Amino acid sequence: MLKDKVLADRYEVIEPIARGGMAEVFRARDNLLNRTVAVKVLHPEFASDPAFVERFKREAQAAANLSHPNIVAVYDWGQDGTTYYIVMEYIDGRSLRDILRADGRIAPRRAVEISAEIASALQFAHRRRVVHRDVKPGNILITRSGEVKVTDFGIARAIGASEGLTQTGAVIGTAAYLSPEQAQGLAVDAKSDVYSLGVVLFEMLTGRVPFAGDTPISIALKHVNEDPVSPRELGAEIPQSLELVVLKALAKNPARRYASAEEMRQDLVRVERGEKVIATPLTPEQVDAEAAERQPDEPVVERKPRSWPFWIVLVLLLALLGVGLYLLGKSLGVFSPPAEVALPSVVGQTYDPGAKQTLEKLGLIPEPTYQQSSSADAGKVLSQSPAEGVNVRVNSKVQVVVGQGPGTARTPKVIGISKDEASKIITSAGFVVGNVKEEHSDSIEAGIIIDQDPVADKDVVKGSPINLIVSKGKEKVKVPEVGGKDQNDAIRAIQSAGLQVGNITQQQNNAPPNTIISQNPKGGTEVDKGSSVSIVVSTGPKQVVVPGLVNMARSAAISALAKESLKANVVTCTPASSGQEGKVVAQDPPSGTEVEKGSTVKITVGDTTAGGAVCPSG
């Protein structure tokens, strides 16, 4: 039991997540890089078999060299005691096999999307001369976000590599998804993977594989000898163009299939767009030819032995015929050394018309392969093999790589994430970051993407720019200085600055009534637009009541006013009687009047020494 075991003092095994014929896959923790990974462990019964160990190692090497968004990445491979393991990218999702078992058929549009991404992954592997050889729903993973990942290159092999680990003619792969050439134990190339992808697409559209049987051998024979039923006859509600794509991929003769996985992917994109596909129905002549290719040799009919004179005559006739053919061939130059031509350069030329016709006129056979390129190089020859100037025999094959333009991809969604994260996602999806504009937002924090153009999930030419609008957060404004302003003027100034008036507090103060005596925040402070500013409004100085002063002695009256924070303005008059001497005979304002603190009260005091008008009588 591997659970809780740490492999190579680094990979902590957590739980099993899948099991196959030769290995089991576990979710694990890479303690060095602090990330979740998937660890595939070879079953113990195979760990002692050098052939299985070598095949297991080859899977790691094959996949480790394939870095593509639709291929599960391989990080590491190693041995811990008798345990052999491969460390891979952990995919949080389900296999296409599990999805088909749970849901049955898949909607045609989604099936086309999935197949196009598988084709993209296979084309990437084929360009690196690696054929998967086991394309099936169990080896296709779908993440929770809908991304497609091809995995399990356990039986992959470099194109043209020797069999090495299998006997010649051995059949490797899953019977329901085998190509006819795999079923017959013949050598396979990239077109074998195209056939298997056709089987997977057929199953997604119809809910069943095109060929089924009681044993793997019976299924394999059907791949070789029987034609698939039309998907539309099985109730698949799909356009004829999509059916043509499926049937072209499932052609028995590899020469009648798509030339490459990329060519199939392009046809799938055409189906999505409602455009005409390159796949066409087989003509009656092609149907007859395919049937003839699959006919077994005629049985040998037993005949009576011939007499010896018959054989002598036959040998003489054959000898004369041979001499005649030799003389004829010599006169025609058949037995001369094969003609050679110096190979010209066709790099930079348009392939068709152009380079193709140039090579054919020289008696050479151009074999094009296609790869993504710049828009300017679309349709042009990017490289050739053999190179210019090499002498090659007439009827030799010349490999040419033709640009097919940048291709298209779905734009990723980057709204709601940071600018740095968005840039990484845009780049990894095959696009470039275009114009970046910043705008204020009341609801989205600074540094987060508000909008993008083009929008997400749109087919766009790879390498195109994606323009972004990034939030600057809430707009900042300066708080106006409103101290000393009239209340109404202060409110207008606050609102004009894009701010709101907060709490309004009244307070007695020496300032005139309705004058702003303080504010919060202070004037000149930078705040978010729409913030509140609180103000304190003066109700004016505090009011006091003038005390009664008449008949008080002069000094007592002054003291009484001072006690109320009032001032005295003393005037004198000539007493009308002796009782008015030194006393207040009148005051202004009168007793009981409310006045502001610090106000002056006029008091009239009787004083015989001062002269002047006669004091009013009581």
Report which of 96, 98, 55, 91 is spatially closest to residue 72, judged by C-alpha positions. Answer: 91
> Is 134 one of the catalytic residues?
yes
Tokens of 520: 């919060």
Number of residues assigned to the chain: 618
Helices (H), 294-409: 308-331, 356-361
What separation in angstroms does the CA of 210 have from each of 15, 82, 362?
36, 41, 44
* Structural contact between residues 431 and 460, judged by C-beta atoms closer than 8 angstroms: yes
Tokens of 263: 């060519």
How far apart are the C-alpha atoms of 269 and 117, rounded to whole Å? 10
* Structural contact between residues 103 and 40, judged by C-beta atoms closer than 8 angstroms: no
Catalytic-labelled residue, pool 134, 152, 193, 267:
134
- Bond into 406 cis (ω within 30): no
Residue 24 CB neighbour total at 10 angstroms? 16
Buried/exposed code over 445-474 (b: 16+ C-beta within 10 A; e: otherwise): eeebbbebeeeeeeebeeeeebebbbbbbb
* Structural contact between residues 96 and 230, judged by C-beta atoms closer than 8 angstroms: no
Position of tokens 């050439």? Answer: 181
User: Going by C-beta distance under 8 Å and a sequence separation of 6 or more, which residues neighbour residue 70?
Assistant: 117, 118, 120, 121, 124, 147, 148, 149, 150
Calculate helix-pair angle for 96-103, 190-206, nearest 10 degrees: 20
How far apart are the C-alpha atoms of 190 and 159, rounded to whole Å? 8
CA 336, distance to chain mean position in Å, is 61
Report which of 247, 227, 226 is spatially closest to residue 236, judged by C-alpha positions. Answer: 247
Tokens of 370: 């296609």
Tokens of 145: 């976000």
DSSP string, 154-208: TT-EETT----SS-TT---S-GGG--HHHHTT----HHHHHHHHHHHHHHHHHSS
Residue 554 CB neighbour total at 10 angstroms? 18
Catalytic residue list? 134
